[in-house]
Amino acid sequence: MEKIFKSKGMTTTEKWVIVFVLAFMCGTYLLLKEASVLCGFIVAIPFLISNYQRKYIIKENGDLWVKTVFGISQKAIGVNCILYNPSAKGWQWRVRQMVVRYQNGLKKGFFPITPADPEGLIAALKEKNPDLELQYTYK
């Protein structure tokens, strides 16, 4: 049976930045009366929603699928390594916290993930892929 994990939500800082940017763009729109000012934010809203509402699905064969709200998915077929840094800090700490590497034949790749329960996801992947390499990094 598939196991599903959710992505982390927004931090308080990220929420305040979004509110500030929204207020700035609305104020700029009111001053300039240009609809093009709001186009950037209108394009960014679906991206933000999609980014924070991801689902991580571990299939029966040990593959990891990442699905967004809009149905876009990434598939890590043949997961062979997870780089995990539970103490990641600084700018873009989410991107640097956990990276999944995979290899399926000649196709290799990697992408960052941000599950709400990283230890649970690692345990579930380890259960499906016993030869999974796990590299902890503490910096």
129 in Cβ contact with 122 (< 8 Å): no
Domain residue extents for the chain: 3-136
Type of residue found at 63: D
The CA distance from 56 to 7, in Å, is: 7
Q: How many CA atoms lie within 13 A of 44 on its CB side?
A: 9
pLDDT in tens, 83-101: 888 777 665 566 667 888 8
Which residues fall within 8 angstroms of residue 15, CB to CB, at 6 or more apart?
A: none
93, 94, 96, 101: CA torsion to nearest 10: 180
118 in Cβ contact with 71 (< 8 Å): no
Helices in 1-139 by DSSP H: which ranges? 12-32, 36-52, 93-97, 118-128
pLDDT in tens, 8-64: 777 777 778 878 877 887 777 777 777 666 676 677 777 777 777 888 999 998 889
